Amino acid sequence: MNVIEVSGLKKQYRSTLRGARITALDGVDFTVRPGELFGLLGPNGAGKTTTVKILLGLTRATSGNAKVCGLDVSDPESRRRVGYLPEGHKIPGYLTPRQTLSIFGRMSGMDNATIARRTGELLEILHLSKWLDVRVKKFSKGMTQRIGLACALIHSPDVLLLDEPTDGVDPVGRREIRDILRDVAREHGTAVLLNSHLLSEIELTCDRVAVLRTGKVAAEGTIDELTRRSPKYKLIATPVDDALLTIFRDTGATADRVNGHVELGVTDLDHLNAIVDKVRARGAVISELSPMRSTLEDVFVDLVKAADVTVGATMEAK
């Protein structure tokens, strides 16, 4: 059973300007399975925050369906097994981690003994044990972020909704948080929905991602599916002069110098082999020829640019 199910989700707001209707979501579909790390991406205004608010019951969809743990999000019980870390969360500075986790544990219906056990476990994992009784106002942003994650995890939830979980955390801390999220997903079967602008973190952490664009899912799949090899190759050879680059381009290939190597864009392997023959015919020595792969950032930027072009064309037609 999917832990999160979103189907045909639409959300419209009525603008204060002349009563116009603004579409935030326009038929969003995705699922998150138990033990899966799922990334929700998109530029500002794409609908990410609105989607999370609907899953948390903070706003209602105009139409469509959304379920958490098999329950419709309109049912308060759907949120009982959810842990949530909002972006820019605030913890009163006069509280200590012990007090903070006690409050969150009691709000989740936990008994004192279980709260004490989970507090010790989580602060040990997050390397905050020695700060157990230190007031949060003395914490750095990264330490505060770790406490926020502990609050989301205190009741061992089945679903984690995380908004920028590594914001303000140093590189070592980001790796530790990635490891914690993987352990929670793999060992406890927790479904993790992660919303972040740090695409490199999403690429390193998530099993699958969905890219929202203007309220719709523009792309969805595993990281490998979305960043599968492009028909480009990295070529390092000596010598490669401008005349040889011209020969490459005459075959229909793209050829550009980038940081000491040549990026070749070809149609297929036969095309690539023909270029290799031309390199050798000119007496050049090839030291590297390797396929290039798009990054998640490349995919993201291409999708956003495509949206800008579509919007621009529509406005021009009007």
What is the per-residue DSSP string for 63-104?
EEEEEETTEETTSGGGGTTEEEE-TT----TT--HHHHHHHH
- Residue range 154-182, pLDDT digits in tens: 999 999 999 988 887 888 888 888 999 99
Residues 6+ apart with CB under 8 A from 49: 163, 195
- The whole-angstrom separation of Cα 263 and Cα 279 is 14
Query: Coil, strand or helix: which one is 22?
Result: strand
- The whole-angstrom separation of Cα 40 and Cα 211 is 6
Range of the domain at 233: 229-293
Work out the number of other CB atoms within 10 angstroms of the CB of residue 251.
13
Rg of the chain on CA atoms, in Å: 25
- The whole-angstrom separation of Cα 165 and Cα 68 is 21
For the chain, how many structural domains are there in total? 2
Q: Which helix (H) or strand (E) holds 91?
A: none
- Residue range 2-51, pLDDT digits in tens: 899 999 999 998 776 666 788 899 999 999 999 999 999 988 888 898 99
pLDDT averaged over every residue in the chain:
88
What confidence score (pLDDT) does residue 311 get?
Answer: 39
- Indicate whether 302 belongs to any domain: no
Tokens 């505060």 found at: 144
Tokens 């890219």 found at: 211
Same domain? For 234 and 213 the reply is: no
* CATH code of residue 90: 3.40.50.300
Tokens of 245: 């680059």
- Indicate whether 312 belongs to any domain: no
- Indicate whether 298 belongs to any domain: no
- Indicate whether 289 belongs to any domain: yes
Tokens of 110: 């936990």
- Indicate whether 111 belongs to any domain: yes
How far are the Cα atoms of 49, 169, 203, 207 from residue 195, in angstroms, in the given order?
8, 16, 12, 13
CB 168 within 8 A of CB 88: no
Same domain? For 171 and 275 the reply is: no
Query: Coil, strand or helix: which one is 33?
Result: coil
- The whole-angstrom separation of Cα 241 and Cα 239 is 6
Same domain? For 274 and 218 the reply is: no
Same domain? For 144 and 246 the reply is: no
What confidence score (pLDDT) does residue 18 get?
Answer: 65
Same domain? For 194 and 176 the reply is: yes
Same domain? For 34 and 87 the reply is: yes
- The whole-angstrom separation of Cα 132 and Cα 124 is 10
Among candidate residues 190, 202, 129, the one with its CA nearest the CA of residue 161: 190
Same domain? For 83 and 194 the reply is: yes
What confidence score (pLDDT) does residue 307 get?
Answer: 55
What confidence score (pLDDT) does residue 172 get?
Answer: 86
Tokens of 209: 């991602």
Same domain? For 42 and 120 the reply is: yes
Q: What share of the chain is helix, strand, coil (3-state, %, to 5)?
A: 40, 30, 30
Task: State the sign of the Cα–Cα–Cα–Cα dihedral 126, 130, 136, 140.
Answer: negative
Give every residue of the chain whose pLDDT is below 50, as ranges: 309-318
Work out the number of other CB atoms within 10 angstroms of the CB of residue 14.
9
Same domain? For 204 and 114 the reply is: yes
Tokens 């990026």 found at: 263
* CATH code of residue 240: 3.30.70
Which amino acid appears at position 115 of this protein? I
Same domain? For 208 and 266 the reply is: no
Same domain? For 116 and 244 the reply is: no
